[in-house]
Structure 1
Amino acid sequence: MANAAADRRNWAGNLTYRAARVVHPATIDELQDVLAAGGPIRVLGTRHTFNDLADTEGTLIATDRLPAHVDTGSAPGVVRLTGGLRYGDLAPRLQQRGLALANLASLPHISVAGAVATGTHGSGDRIGSLASAVRSIGFLTPDGEPRVLQRGDHEFPGAVVHLGALGVVTALQLDVEPTYDVAQTVFEAPGWDTILDDLDAVTSLGTSVSIFTTWARTDVADQLWVKQRLPMDSDVAAQRDAVISHLGARAATVPRHPIIGLPADAATEQGGAPGPWHERLPHFRLEFTPSAGEELQSEYLVPRTHAVAAIEAVRARAGRIAPLLQVCEVRTVRADDLWLSPAYGTDVVAVHFTWKPDQPAVTALLPELEAALPATARPHWGKLFALPGDELRRRYLRFDDFADLRARFDPEGRLRNAFLTRLGL
């Protein structure tokens, strides 16, 4: 157990936890002892949440010292793992066993359980969020009872993206497949008008596609990152080259960081060089500080049918956004059936903002930005947003069903905190 001063801040350093104590149970027995002590609790993974989703006035339970296990032998096409593992620790173990996940987020530094709980995602027209790979999820509820829900169970779609409101995740089962290689190529200065004329053509250029821009210019984006699963059919390659040419883009001649001006050694290998899935699908290498390090983040996911309108709304406010921005990323996520997933019921396009670490200015801008976006935009749960709880309830069709599920898992409300209270949970 520990309660060091370093425990009291999130990854970005923009939030100091209000918790009375932070504990690091090293065994399930120690975890059950913490739960048995009573009082308010919340759970910490790798602390990559930029808001107070994980905070509490009681006890914060950090999962970083719980036993880490990976089992690929229990059933074909499945990996079973414990809740505290990071994707960057899981992926090499899968690769060693000839296995892979369908996708990864831009950072391998995040915990599997935390990413699942918040609906975190990578990119790909045909690829769901990281939560969509979950086949089963096991909790210790606040009263210390184990609960396991599996795909096909009535409550399963409500329990996967759970905002930390159901218990401590102790085990997950994820879909896996045979390992594969990916090639990553960065293209520079694609034209925005051409991108928005046929956004679907651009987002289908590869298995995973990201558009990066600082909005310093509104005629061209800065970079287009295309990650292609191999082998790539020659007809697909020819079609990609034709679209790239139409965009007026050119292949980067040297490695790039998503944020213009930062050294590229933190980024995963580019230039079309084939490599294992886990060394290409993330934007950043595990051994480096990801992204800018000192930053804030917001993200809004909109149905594909509203994506161009959302991007145009941001583009029209470039003069307001650019001074606070490090980089904006546009990418795609396939629909799923998870109640609190931002991709629930519809394919979505995500518009992500990595802000400079000026929280008062960012906080002041967010209501204006949210008012300009389509009314179907759903914020990423773990990032900064200003939308009130009643508006979020309107945008999530199964919100009330989740509220009922939360009450059944935690009838005493020990996991309820200020964040959940603002949502009406």
Structure 2
Amino acid sequence: MVSEAGTELHTEQYNWAGNLRYAAAELREPTTVVELQELVAGASKLRALGSRHSFNRIADTSGVLVSLEHLAPAIDVDPDSLTVTVSGGTRYGTLAAELQRQGFALHNLASLPHISVAGAVATATHGSGDRNGNLATAVAGLEIVTADGGILTARRGDADFEGMVVSLGALGVVSSLILDIEPTFDVAQTVFDDLDWDRVLENFDDVTCSAYSVSLFTDWSGDRIAQAWLKSRTAGTDPEAKHTEFFGGSPATEPRHPIAGVPGTTCTQQFGVPGPWSDRLAHFRMEFTPSKGDELQSEYLVPREHAVEAIQAMRRLSHLVTPLLLVSEIRTMAADSLWLSPNYGTDGIGLHLTWRQDQPAVEAVLPVIEAELAPFGARPHWGKLFDGDAARLAPLYPRFADFKALAGRLDPEGKFRNGFLDRAVFGS
């Protein structure tokens, strides 16, 4: 039925992967910010629901789930300041297409363009590239509907701004964001098969700096890496130049999907054909259902200085990890100053694991992985499956206590708290 503050649904709600059912009794979908403010003010417990691509209960609540999907995208480009203002529920693919139409670009995209801007930012979701910060680093300002239904605006440089960006939904509902943009650019994507592990590790820095964005796909077994995806900005380069070999790998002869045996038709253009950033930086095309829904995901972000050691640790765990995997991806990202970003204060690598959907088996192996990666200061991706709690995570984040204090000031009654936050952040 339609209420005064949006659409109310009493049907069961699941995440994209189908591995969890949200505990909330209702989902509301406001169509205006005023409706959103009324919803937030009137709820005793509430959480914002993004595009449902989280694999844990970060978005869950015993109260009301609110989706911003039906707010107008409100994409407003300011060419003078090189920023764009966009509604929090807008998906990156929608934003990217409009920016490209107007001649602008974001600095990077995640592998999926189907995810919402506010949800991706709040969990520090990232793309790849030695010099590219995660998606949240593009945030120049945001608007938050706070627990009392009021509007809080913050801009880069304001007090506590760097604690508000990667917020895990603990501070309120982010209704809009201001993002840095730049003039549009073209990208050429090339895939290589069957790289040599020893050569890659011996030359890891050369591998990851060989393109604007580099992804390595592996199942951690054997002495070969299945695929390397290189996304290169084409300005100032020869589009006809072709690599014939890449650290033991050879160019793919047909479109590749990261998961072995899955057709590459849903993936973005390969074979080094130049095209807009909006059609190349993500791995998957907006017009197709992303990847495989019947999967689980985990990811650990490790300081760059420990990259090779952490990769070697994962290879030692192959006997436990490989049988449960669909594929794993290694990417790099630049340091930032956002309090709860897994790349706070350090350049890093991401060790991403796409699991078969066997949650008991996956949850059994996560503590083993985390123990093996603990000496390297590995921080888990907030939106994916992990085992660590607040006691283990707090020492990894120098501003962890500051974030908890900020949440206490903005949400003193705990309206936006849930079981996930209690376990992973607040320690109760």
Short-chain TM bin: over 0.9
Q: Does 1:96 align with 2:101?
A: yes
Q: How far has the Cα of 1:232 moved from its partner?
A: 4.6
Q: Which residue of 1 aligns with 2:283?
A: 283
Return the offset for 1:5. Answer: 6.0
How far off is 1:423 after superposition?
A: 2.5
Q: Please show how residues 285-300 of structure 1 align to structure 2 within 5 Å.
A: 285-300=285-300
Contact 1:306 1:374 survives alignment (8 Å) = no
CA deviation profile, 1:29-49 (whole Å, cap 9, x unmatched): 221221222311111010111
Q: Which runs of structure 2 are paired with 1:162-311 in the superposition (5 Å)?
A: 162-215=167-220, 217-233=221-237, 241=243, 244-245=245-246, 247-311=247-311
Deviates more, 1:51-60 or 1:16-25: 16-25
Return the alpha-carbon distance in structure 2 between the equivalents of residues 269 and 5 of structure 1.
41
| RMSD, matched Cα | 1.6
Q: Deviations over 1:150-186 (max 9, x none)?
A: 1111211000000000111111100001001000000
Question: Aligned partners of 2:141 and 2:161: how far apart in 1?
Answer: 8
Instruction: Give 1:6 shift.
Output: 5.8
Relative distance call for 1:177 and 1:402 in structure 2 (3 A) is same
Contact 2:187–2:233 (Cα < 8 Å) also in 1: yes
Q: Which residue of 2 aligns with 1:111?
A: 116
Q: Which amino acid aligns with 2:339?
A: W
Per-residue CA deviation, residues 387-420 of structure 1 (Å, 9 max, x unaligned), is 1211100111100000011011111110011011
- Tell me if structure 2 keeps the 8 A contact 1:84–1:113: yes
Of 15, 24, 30, the match for 2:20: 15
Distance, in Å, in 2 between the alignment partners of 1:424 and 1:128 is 23
In the TM superposition, what are the counterparts of 1:134-149 in structure 2 within 5 Å? 134-149=139-154
SS at match of 2:224: coil
CA distance in 1, matches of 2:73, 2:186: 26
Give the share of equivalent positions with the same residue, in percent: 53
Determine the C-alpha separation between the residues in 2 that align with 1:218 and 1:351: 17
After TM superposition, the structure 1 = structure 2 runs for residues 144-155 of structure 1, keeping only pairs within 5 Å, are: 144-155=149-160
**2:329 corresponds to 1:325:** no
Kindly indicate whether the alpha-carbon contact (under 8 Å) linking 2:88 and 2:117 is maintained by their aligned counterparts in 1: yes
TM-score by length of 2: 0.95
Instruction: Give the letter aligned to residue 411 of structure 2.
Output: D
Q: Partners of 1:395 and 1:214 in 2: how far apart?
A: 27
Query: 1:339, 1:399 within 8 Å by CA — same for their partners in 2?
Result: yes
In structure 2, how many angstroms separate the alpha carbons of the residues matched to 1:97 and 1:68? 15
Residue equivalent to 2:336? 336
Counterparts in 2 of 1:424 and 1:278: CA distance versus 1, 3 Å:
closer
Q: How many aligned residue pairs are there? A: 420
2:424 matched to which residue of 1? Answer: 423
In the alignment, is the contact (CA less than 8 A) between 1:99 and 1:178 conserved in 2? yes
Give, in whole Å, the separation in 2 of the partners of 1:352 and 1:358.
Answer: 17
User: Does structure 1 conserve the Cα–Cα contact (< 8 Å) formed by 2:18 and 2:293?
Assistant: no
Within 1, Cα distance between the matches of 2:312 and 2:415? 43
Deviation at 1:271, TM superposition (A): 0.2
Residue 126 (1) aligns with residue 131 (2): yes
Aligned partners of 1:339, 1:255: CA distance in 2, in Å?
39
Q: Distance in 2 between matches of 1:332 and 1:399?
A: 23
The verdict on how the C-alpha distance between 1:299 and 1:6 changes in structure 2, with shifts beyond 3 A counting, is farther
Question: Which residue number in structure 2 is paired with residue 386 of structure 1?
Answer: 387
Structure 1 residues not aligned, in runs of 5+ = none
The Cα shift of 1:74 comes to: 7.0
Q: State the Cα deviation string for residues 261-285 of structure 1 (Å, max 9, x = none).
A: 1011110010000000010000000
SS at match of 1:221: strand
What is the rounded CA distance, in whole Å, between the counterparts of 2:66 and 2:43 in structure 1? 13
Conserved 8 A contact 1:7-1:22: no
Contact 2:111 2:284 in 1 (8 A): yes
Cα distance in structure 2, aligned partners of 1:49 and 1:265: 24
TM-score w.r.t. the length of structure 1 is 0.96
How far is the alpha carbon of 1:4 from its aligned partner?
3.9
Please list every run of at least 4 consecutive aligned residues from structure 1 whose deviation after the TM superposition is greater than 6 angstroms.
none
Question: What amino acid does structure 2 have at the position aligned with 1:390?
Answer: A
